[in-house]
Amino acid sequence: MPSILVTGSKGQLGTELTLLAAEYPQYQFTFTDSHGMDITDEKSVRDLFTANRFDYCINCAAYTAVDKAESDMEAAFNLNATAVFHLAQVTREHNVRLIHLSTDFVFDGKKSKPYTEEDQPSPLNIYGKSKWRGEEACLQQNSKSIIIRTSWLYSPFGNNFVKTMQKLGRERKEIGVIYDQVGTPTYAYDLASTIMTMLPRLNENITGIFHYSNEGVCSWYDFAVAIMELSGLSSKVKPLETVEYPTPAKRGHYSVLNKKKIKATFGLTIPYWRDSLKKCIERIEKYNDNEQR
């Protein structure tokens, strides 16, 4: 039975993979977080791979606090780059296929058409630079690795834009949201399902970088308006320009990912972002109802 190690299992994507595991009895799963295996500790990584046999490692662990990274550079690079270097090295030594998650933040957002896997990264902030360094380490240390870049991840779990907007929508009559940054939201459940679809189709010739997000394009403003509407909230969303909402980390104005490669390679049909948002909000409401009972 193939064995899968999932790191960062308490994050949004890791949680969705944990919940999906029951639907894939043909695999044996091991889920770890920073308490089970600190991937920034090379010895801890080596000890786990020496004591266990894995066929795949899905690395969901990451430093994702984009603005905080500007003043916490060492921690961001330690988790997003140095740790990935050691993980890629150890997975290569143990002949494990590494699937590593990355981000649209490796690009500067100056293009006006979707970014392909061949476009040259040029990150604007520390978070993006740390993730790009991790990609390079991954490819250099494990030639069999797969990198999946994604964008605007959300789910019913943890902290994300959807849950933040719902909270603000219940507390305020009006919310200001950026309208001149354009990309595509990604429902973590869809990404987790895609990874599980990819696994049995991987062969020696499939390596390198792939892009995945939901289909379609929107601004953060459009995203927020849809969240209010689908959540039944009456809070008005006011469009803001990026200059009106300064943040420690610079952000690009365009980060749409071209998904042609991953769709063609794995035969995928990717859901439209608004359809997936509706499904996520329904799950959030279901979880909230269960908690109140």
Catalytic residue among 56, 63, 115, 127: 127
Catalytic status, residue 254: no
Which residues lie below 8 Å from residue 214, measured CB to CB, with a gap of 6+?
A: 184, 185, 186, 187, 190, 270, 271, 272, 273, 276
Candidates 63, 192, 88, 203; CA nearest to 139 is 88
Query: Buried b vs exposed e over 221-250: b needs ≥16 C-beta within 10 Å?
Result: bbbbbbbbebbebebebebbebeeeeeebb
Please answer whether residues 51 and 68 qualify as being in contact, where contact means their C-beta atoms are separated by less than 8 angstroms: no
Please answer whether residues 188 and 154 qualify as being in contact, where contact means their C-beta atoms are separated by less than 8 angstroms: yes
Q: Give strand pairing partners of 31.
A: 6
Instruction: Please identify every residue annotated as catalytic.
Output: 127
